[in-house]
Amino acid sequence: MADFLSDFAEKFGLMFLGLAAFAAVVGILLFLADRAPKRGRDVLQLLIFLLPAGILLTVGLIYPAVNTTVLSFFNRNSQEFVGFDNFVWMFTQPQIQITLLNTLVWVALVPTLSTIFGLAYAVFIDKSKGEKVLKSLVFMPMAISFVGAGIIWRFMYEYRAEGFSEQIGVLNQIIVWVGGEPQQFLQNSPWNTFFLIIVMVWIQTGFAMVLLSAAIKGVPVEIVEASRLDGANPWQTFWNVTVPGIRSTLVVVVTTISIATLKVFDIVRAMTGGNFDTSVVANEMYTQAFNRGEFGQGSALALVLFVMVLPIVVYNVRIMRKQKEIR
Amino acid sequence: MSSTLRRRVLAPAAAVGALSLVLAGCAADTDEPGAGGDLDCSAYEAYGTFEGESVEVYATIVEVEADDLVTSWSDFEDCTGITIDYVGTQEAETQINVRAAAGDAPDLMIIPQPGLLQRLIADGYVEPAASSVEDNVDEFWSESWKGYGTVDGTFYAAPLLASVKGYIWYSPADFEENGYEIPTTWDEMIALTDQMTERNEGAYRPWCVGFGSGDATGWPGTDWVEDSVLRFAGPEAYDAWVAGELEFSSPEITDAIERVGEILLDPEYVNGGYGGVESIVSTTFNDGGLPILDGNCSMHHQASFYEAQWGEGVTVAPDGDIWAFITPPASADDGPAVTGGGEFVAAFNDREATSAVQTYLASDTWANNRVALGGVISANQGLDPSLASSQLGVQSIEILQNPDTVFRFDASDLMPAEVGTSSFWTGMVDWVSGTVTTDELTEFIDSTFP
Amino acid sequence: MSTSSGTNTGTSTDKVQKAETKLDQPLGQRNKATGGGKAKRVKQRLTSRWATFAAIVIAVIWTIPTFGLLVSSIRTPDEIRTTGWWNIFVSPSFTLENYAEVLTVSGASSANLGQYFVNSLVIAIPAALFPIALATMAAYAFAWIKFKGSGALFVLVFALQIVPLQMALVPLLQIFSGVLGISGTFPAVWIAHTIFGLPLCIFLLHNFISEIPGEVVEAARVDGANHTQIFFRIIIPLSLPALASIGIFQFLWVWNDLLVALVFSGGTADVAPLTQRLAELVGNFGRNTERLPAAAFISLIIPLIVFFSLQRYFVRGLLAGSTKG
């Protein structure tokens, strides 16, 4: 116990030191911006506001991204230029083809389902009694780590053969109760991918719901009112008033979830390890680069991930442009 | 990866071992070093003294086993002045790729499979072993063990601990009650299995099997195949197979796989306590053999480290609750043949302190120190088998040290990673799931050879 | 919920009072309308009995998995292994043995969660604050400082969200170990999380900050305030709800992260967070089945406390852009 306390004190001491140091650096920078000489003041202030983030991003993301792009054209230990070999490998290996296909299924289903469930739920509980509690229940998975979610759902999907043992997983127990045969949810391809996707939807719905619920409350009541007076039924009001009113939040939600989905890694790793045809690009990339030391192939997979996200980025940029014009 | 997972199960055994050591220490009049401060450093003089130097040792070993590891070199630290910083994480096998690539490699790493070692050597991260390390290995280890740490005639890494695979676990009481005899040949084993099927009812089947192991799922299947290849195709064919010269689709290997299939793919034979053939992949290897305790199966094929899985209160002894025999040979005239696994110590720099630690870990002194702490075995020839913490440990060390034993290293650990930690595993999974035939299996694995 | 949505201005300090009065026309009206419309809205809900029913079904389905985990965590190891958790309703049982085991049993082979718990806190607090601070500054610059290439630069930052973490690990570790010499320490983990969190934080905060009415900022500028003053007197007070909500999300993401910690903490008990320990226990699945539910539940506690105590901020904070078509 004494050890634990001193460990505790030491680590928290370090934390406060870190926080203080950070505050001091940022404080000094902003102070400098405040006292900047008139000449060149604008440039200096701009730099001070942008540079800290800019430097970190350049070092931590831009450089690695460029590096990855280069590596994807080299062999496993980056010694030899191999042209497009890694990409040829990717699109000719049946295993990787399945991985790519799975990733597309993930990114098609997770944002759609999470948003639909989140939006429906947000609308259903809006202004209802116990809204807070109901919200918390669905948001809760968001607070659970992927590792924790993996544990929870392994218990849900647990399989025991019929006649050999009692079921200990809820889903199979329900199947048995209604007279069906227990299923190996995580082993039977291709459906196992959907059972993994359910876990991600379970987590992300809370995120979608919280944001969309906030947005719905921001839709001016007068407009809803007006639509109502025009004789629209609730469904029409929802489609013609609420949805347009929360469109930009919807875009943020779908974008954020899509990107999180493309990067999904922990769920697959914790639940199937990418076995039984359930691998996705982010998992395969990790496996190739770090389990097998194939940095070339891993980088090539990363590049494919970039390309997959590109449409989402382009769409968002167009939205942003439009908004700028409005302003 | 497989080796990490295999390692994880060792901890409880080590705990039991450590406890028995403590008990022994209480009973015997101890001359433990450090007790009176008069540490006997004569055994460590040869390593020299290094004031203020520290060496980082990185490994997948955690928990009790890690504590034992640290204890095993504490005298060495006191006498040489080297501080050994032990960093243990179960992700070490993956993280070493990141750390090495980033120029942040540890001084030494305990590597649990030769495939990874060879890759790190090929990428130029590992330093050749100092001559003092090589001298120790020449003295205390067999030629073949030294070979696993050698690439292109250069010796890099010294072996450390080992495990014996191919044990078949059973309940002595179950065998006695039903009049079963320990089979002396593979055919007798099949006959015995047939005899056992008379009891098939409810959850009972003769064999219980579990392939599940996270992203390493399937490796217990490779162990089955390896045992079969060594017995039916012979050691030479085994070596050619490992080297990629003998294909999976060759008649020898296909025959060996089919013999395994006779057991694993027959719903009359498997999977006691868990279900049909398809339940093999959803049963974790940790749980695989446990139905023996409930009387739901009679035999389970798994390595010596499975001893740790039986849990508290289960005695592992010839007259205890659980015991094991080595997978029987093809014919009664064949000598003893076992497959096994092991780990290796590689250096990432050539500092003197680093090689001093590496040299010490290759010595008989260290092997005896560590094995005496319990839970593990080593193939070090200078090791005193009686130090092992369990009867199974003693037996395993004797098998490893027996000059007549035909020993072969786990084939999947030696094969290229594309096969050994990938297609061989997934192939076995598909095979027992019934999605591929034996011919499709062998063809698929052959196609993944680089 | 609804009340806090109408009290944005309540969080502001005296300093911004002046700016506030100038600002409150558009924003304030909206708020008043939202708040005042509450009673009417109740009647006009889209919800019917069916909607309520559907909501309850969703809530139950979403809760069952976690509830099962909670129930499992208070059953004996033997029960966890052999029967489903719903049997507790048939044959009730209760034990805290699993919690005692993962929390208090010391010694190398125990789960030893206490130490990892501290690590998680020490990692997550700075790793939530740092990116928020830097992102606010950057978001302000993108929104309110006019400069050439502002749009393109912002798109670039946005696009950086897609850089897979996995690919940034090696280059970053190179810098940490080779240049800074901090690999395997808390600062390394903080910096890594800060970097990976920045693009999304900047994106979300920009959405919010750019919606602050231009008149307010202009008015301050006319009064002679420079960027630092505007930043402290207007931007920060007005963005507090957004800062809080995005900060909460960043905290949750960091708390639940496994990959970054795995690489930059060096994986040792001195620095590694709870998630890593949990992942290791999962690796022992089979042997530790009975410990897992309790361990998993302990890892949920802090995120849940954070969520429940700060949830009122979600409403205003993430409203960004919602009223624009």
Task: Inspect the interface and report whether the beta carbons of A144 and C115 lie closer than 8 Å.
Answer: no
pLDDT in tens, A132-158: 788 888 888 888 888 888 888 988 898
Please report the pLDDT score of residue B2 as a whole number.
Answer: 43
What's the whole-number mean pLDDT along residues A62-90?
A: 89
Task: Inspect the interface and report whether the beta carbons of A165 and B98 lie closer than 8 Å.
Answer: no
Please report the pLDDT score of residue C105 as a whole number.
Answer: 59
In terms of Cα–Cα distance, which of A296, A68, B105, A100 is closest to C165? A68
Residue A292 covered by a domain: yes
More confident residue, A103 or C1: A103
CATH number at residue A208: 1.10.3720.10
Q: Which residues in chain A touch residue B420, judged by CB atoms under 8 angstroms apart?
A: none
Q: Which residues in chain A touch residue B94, judged by CB atoms under 8 angstroms apart?
A: 290-291
How many domains is chain A built from?
A: 1
Specify whether B143 is located in the same domain as B186.
no
Count of A-C CB contacts under 8 Å: 382
B102 touches chain C (CB under 8 A): yes
Residue A233 covered by a domain: yes
Please report the pLDDT score of residue A34 as a whole number.
Answer: 83
pLDDT in tens, C214-233: 888 888 888 888 888 888 88
Tokens encoding A241: 């008033």
Specify whether B55 is located in the same domain as B19.
yes
Please report the pLDDT score of residue C178 as a whole number.
Answer: 80
Please report the pLDDT score of residue A277 as a whole number.
Answer: 87
Distance between CA atoms of residues B136 and B256, nearest Å: 37
Please report the pLDDT score of residue C283 as a whole number.
Answer: 61
Please report the pLDDT score of residue B29 as a whole number.
Answer: 37
B94: closest CA of chain A, how far (Å): 5
Task: Inspect the interface and report whether the beta carbons of B91 and C267 lie closer than 8 Å.
Answer: yes
Please report the pLDDT score of residue A254 as a whole number.
Answer: 92
Least confident range of B242-246, B413-417, C124-128: B413-417
- The neighbouring-strand residues paired with A190 are none
pLDDT in tens, C283-297: 654 456 677 888 888
Q: Which residues in chain C touch residue B287, judged by CB atoms under 8 angstroms apart?
A: 286
List chains touching C (3+ CB pairs under 8 A). A, B
Give the model's confidence band at B362: pLDDT under 50 very low, under 70 low, under 90 confident, else very high: very high
Q: Which residues in chain A touch residue C200, judged by CB atoms under 8 angstroms apart?
A: 256
Residue A18 covered by a domain: no
Please report the pLDDT score of residue A184 as a whole number.
Answer: 86
Give the model's confidence band at B394: pLDDT under 50 very low, under 70 low, under 90 confident, else very high: very high
B128 pLDDT above the threshold of 90: yes
Residue B325 covered by a domain: no
Side chain identity, residue C7: T
Give the model's confidence band at A204: pLDDT under 50 very low, under 70 low, under 90 confident, else very high: very high
C113-to-A293, C95, C256, C297 alpha-carbon distances in Å: 32, 19, 15, 11
Ordered structural domains, chain C, with CATH: 46-95 (no CATH), 101-317 (1.10.3720.10)
Specify whether B150 is located in the same domain as B274.
no
Tokens encoding A119: 């939006």
Specify whether B80 is located in the same domain as B187.
no
Other Cβ atoms less than 10 A from the Cβ of B81: the count is: 16
Residue A220 covered by a domain: yes
> Count of alpha carbons within 13 Å of B356, Cβ hemisphere only?
23
- What value does the mean pLDDT of chain B take? 86
Please report the pLDDT score of residue B110 as a whole number.
Answer: 94
Please report the pLDDT score of residue C109 as a whole number.
Answer: 46
Please report the pLDDT score of residue B32 as a whole number.
Answer: 39
Specify whether B79 is located in the same domain as B206.
no
Residue B248 covered by a domain: yes
Residue B34 covered by a domain: no
Task: Inspect the interface and report whether the beta carbons of A187 and B282 lie closer than 8 Å.
Answer: yes
Q: Which residues in chain A touch residue B201, judged by CB atoms under 8 angstroms apart?
A: none
Boundaries of domain holding A174? 84-326
B273 pLDDT above the threshold of 60: yes
Please report the pLDDT score of residue B240 as a whole number.
Answer: 95
Residue A14 covered by a domain: no
Please report the pLDDT score of residue C289 as a whole number.
Answer: 66
What's the whole-number mean pLDDT along residues A226-236?
A: 85
Specify whether B273 is located in the same domain as B421.
yes
More confident residue, B273 or C7: B273
Burial C49-88 (b: 16+ CB within 10 A, else e): eebbebbeebbeebbebbbbbbbbbbbeeebbeebbbbbb
Task: Inspect the interface and report whether the beta carbons of B97 and A159 lie closer than 8 Å.
Answer: no
What's the whole-number mean pLDDT along residues B88-110?
A: 86
Please report the pLDDT score of residue B123 as a whole number.
Answer: 86
Specify whether B173 is located in the same domain as B256.
yes
Residue A107 covered by a domain: yes
Residue A307 covered by a domain: yes
Specify whether B351 is located in the same domain as B250.
no
Residue A57 covered by a domain: no
How many domains is chain B built from?
A: 2
Distance between CA atoms of residues B224 and A221, nearest Å: 70
Task: Inspect the interface and report whether the beta carbons of B104 and C286 lie closer than 8 Å.
Answer: no
A264 pLDDT above the threshold of 90: no
Q: Which residues in chain C touch residue A128, judged by CB atoms under 8 angstroms apart?
A: 45, 47, 52, 55
Residue B35 covered by a domain: no
Residue B39 covered by a domain: no
Residue ranges, chain C, pLDDT below 70: 1-47, 104-111, 282-289, 311-325
Boundaries of domain holding B280? 167-302+416-448
Give the model's confidence band at B195: pLDDT under 50 very low, under 70 low, under 90 confident, else very high: very high
Please report the pLDDT score of residue A1 as a whole number.
Answer: 54
Specify whether B232 is located in the same domain as B367.
no
Task: Inspect the interface and report whether the beta carbons of A56 and C198 lie closer than 8 Å.
Answer: yes
More confident residue, A274 or B410: B410
CATH number at residue B112: 3.40.190.10
Q: Which residues in chain C touch residue B99, judged by CB atoms under 8 angstroms apart?
A: 173, 177
Distance between CA atoms of residues A238 and B298, nearest Å: 64
Name the closest residue on chain B to residue C81, using Cα atoms. Answer: B287
Task: Inspect the interface and report whether the beta carbons of A291 and B217 lie closer than 8 Å.
Answer: no
> CA C26, C32, C36 angle in degrees (round to 5)?
150
What's the whole-number mean pLDDT along residues B30-44?
A: 59
Q: Which residues contact B420 (CB under 8 A, 6 or more apart)?
A: B115, B411, B412, B413, B414
Q: Which residues in chain C touch residue A306, judged by CB atoms under 8 angstroms apart?
A: 162-163
Name the closest residue on chain B to residue A185, using Cα atoms. Answer: B282
Specify whether B220 is located in the same domain as B366.
no
Task: Inspect the interface and report whether the beta carbons of A214 and C322 lie closer than 8 Å.
Answer: yes
Residue B184 covered by a domain: yes
In terms of Cα–Cα distance, which of C247, C154, C139 is closest to C193? C247
Count of B-C CB contacts under 8 Å: 77
Specify whether B427 is located in the same domain as B353.
no
What's the whole-number mean pLDDT along residues B346-350?
A: 94
- Please state the φ and ψ torsions of residue C284, each to the nearest 5 degrees: -90, 15
Specify whether B346 is located in the same domain as B248.
no
**Which of 85-114 (C) contact B at CB < 8 A?**
107-109
pLDDT in tens, B212-228: 887 788 999 999 999 99
Residue B435 covered by a domain: yes
Tokens encoding B287: 């749980």
Residue B326 covered by a domain: no
Other Cβ atoms less than 10 A from the Cβ of C29: the count is: 11
B103 touches chain C (CB under 8 A): yes
